[in-house]
Amino acid sequence: MVLGTILAGIAAVLGVFVVAYATTEVPEPDDFALAQSTTVYYADGETPMGSFSQVDRQTVPMNTLPEYVGHAVISSEDRNFYENNGVDPKGLTRALWNNVRGLPTQGGSTLTQQYVERYYMGTTTSYLGKFKETILALKIDQSQSKDAILENYLNTIYFGRGAYGIEKAAQAYFGKPAAELTLSESALLAGIIPAPSAWDPAVSPDRAEQRWNRVLDLMVRDGWISQADRDGAQYPQTVPPKTENTYGGPKGYLLKMVRDELVKKAKMTEDEIDTRGLKIVTTIDQRNQDAAVQAVDNLPDDRPENNRVSLVSIDPSSGGIVALYGGADFVAQPLNLATQARAQAGSTFKPFTLVAALEQGKSLYDTYPAPAKLSIGNWDVRNFDGKNHGQVNLVEATAGSINTVYAKLNEDVGPKNTIDAAIRAGLPQDTPGLANEVGNVLGSASPRAIDMATVFATYAAQGVRHDPFIVAEARDSSGNVVYTGEGQGRREFDSQVMADATYAMQAVINDGGAPAAAIGRPAAGKTGTSTALKSANFGGYVPQLATFVNMFQTGDDGSEQSLTGFGGVRSEWMSGSRFPAQIWHDYMSVATQGLPVENFPQPSAKPRPKYTPPPEPTAEPTTEEPTEEPTTEEPTEEPTTEAPSEEPSPKPTKTGKPSPSPTQTEPPADQGGGQGGGGTDSGGGSGTGGGGQGAQPQGGVNLLPQN
């Protein structure tokens, strides 16, 4: 009876096993096993910028690895791998006996069983789960080659330091790809597999070395290497574990922009970005990006902590963002100053009115009176120097950024047409402060830096507008292109209109208020300084590259403040022709290296006039309010934003070299608000333009994220 009972029990178990084997289907791989980290590259497609991952994994084919990588793992984890059927009866018996005695639930120890657990089932500790794991191991051993099983195992096993798979492990421990691993390095990685976090050489160097010796000895015993190989092996040095935050530093803003573009335009989910093993090539040129960061770092050391700077540089032929500075550290300040913060545009708005005038048939050589002060309705606007410039044409008015001329020009062409030109060039329709009032020509609106960079890129492309993008292409783990960022350009302006506008903006650098921006090749640009010095900007371009720089200052509560002088530059001289133009120059001097020197298209025929700055003041510059009628609604005890036409002598910069000394600057009063536009500051006259900030609906520096 006892024998019969035993035999019946064995038959029942075998019957259950046979039925289970026959009915068990090999499932789809577990999502976790297939997850691969996504790598983001600079524009060259080879230099990594960063990565996204839920699981830091990158699969590699077995035939790209040295043979001793797999041999080391086999010797350490499953010496009978090539002989067994996917399970180890002794190991199963031992695991069952441990479980019966109340020890932790265990499974078999073969590579195939570990592979099944990681690749198909996920971690399981139940008896039913272990039973299914055993059945699957047997079936997979019959249906897949040993090399295929070993390859999948090597690409899914956890090696510590957040690294899944041999490729990421090689990078995490030795700073190299798995294809370059040495015998000693392979033995170390194989040895720590059972407890990678505890046996990491950085955590337990003695235990790690003990495991390394064990693996090499087993490899000799199993015939994978010779004794001479063993004797010649030296314990390898590992690199320190990385603690760098993926989003740390200026590049964090770029990586966040990459994610946002894939979610918004490619309609990818966050999980897809983190697990599909994408190869994302951005439009960011590493040299240009480094130059952008360096250009900001070149600012004098006494720059106030609450002084903010952003830079956006765009390829006008495509809209690709080749460099972007959104802040010093994304982790410390997640707000991207280039794409989320807003600041008044100041006189960078004047080219919109110029373009609108040219479209209506006006000529660059039409002349306008340039009185010291002009009243249009209830708005009084005055020139920054308080002087009458006589009769000037539109090139001269642009070079000198003469407020009264542009105010009258905007009245003639219609402020609505100025807004239309701004929107077609690249400003969103909902830009705060974009009011249909004659004062809009002085830049009371508050765009983002990326919007204004798009505008100047449209100028550089001679009227063809491209939407900005940062992802050149994204490929899946199989190499298929799943997204490209570049869209079709669309012509918004006649090319001759753009040629004429560009000609006038060349005079800003060549003859006008921004000689600091000269880079030794044809370039055009425009300064812009807002009312009460709440922001200072410079946008400019060569035919192949457009860049916009802005600077502003915030209080502890995020509210806008007037710019504080630094680097030997007094507060009243903190205009767009100063540090923004200097940053633009420092960046573009590097970014244009290697680019052919190209001329802009010819403007409408007529000899080019040269702007003559106003005479140098006889008295020492003062910040006191003029005795005549006040030009702003600011309290009289606050310093005026007016400044003389000639800037003070250059002061030493951070590098010890004199800062550029323009012969004609654009002091703050040449910008400003005008009528409307939010806030209470006025620019140039007694209007109510200017800008607010934060939660204010219009104008100013908005440090709240913009949707």
* Nearest to 73, CA basis, from 63, 83, 81: 81
375 is known as an active-site residue: no
Sign of CA dihedral 638, 641, 644, 647: positive
Out of 51, 77, 313, 647, the active site residue is 77
* Nearest to 188, CA basis, from 61, 111, 76, 56: 76
347 is known as an active-site residue: yes
* Nearest to 113, CA basis, from 133, 99, 132: 133
Rg, C-alpha atoms of the chain: 34
Phi, then psi, of 554 in degrees rounded to 5: -125, 150
- Which neighbouring-strand residues pair with 469? 320
Phi, then psi, of 286 in degrees rounded to 5: -60, -40
DSSP character string of 560-621 = EEPPPP-TT--GGG--TTTHHHHHHHHHHHHHTTTSPP-PPPP-SSSPPP---PPPPPSSPP
**Rounded to whole angstroms, how far apart are CA atoms 305 and 554?**
9
DSSP code, position 36: B
Helices (H), 144-275: 146-156, 166-174, 183-191, 196-199, 205-221, 227-232, 251-264, 270-275
CB 672 within 8 A of CB 346: yes
CB 122 within 8 A of CB 156: no
Out of 347, 446, 645, 686, the active site residue is 347
How big is the chain, counted in residues?
707
Q: Which residues are catalytic?
A: 77, 347
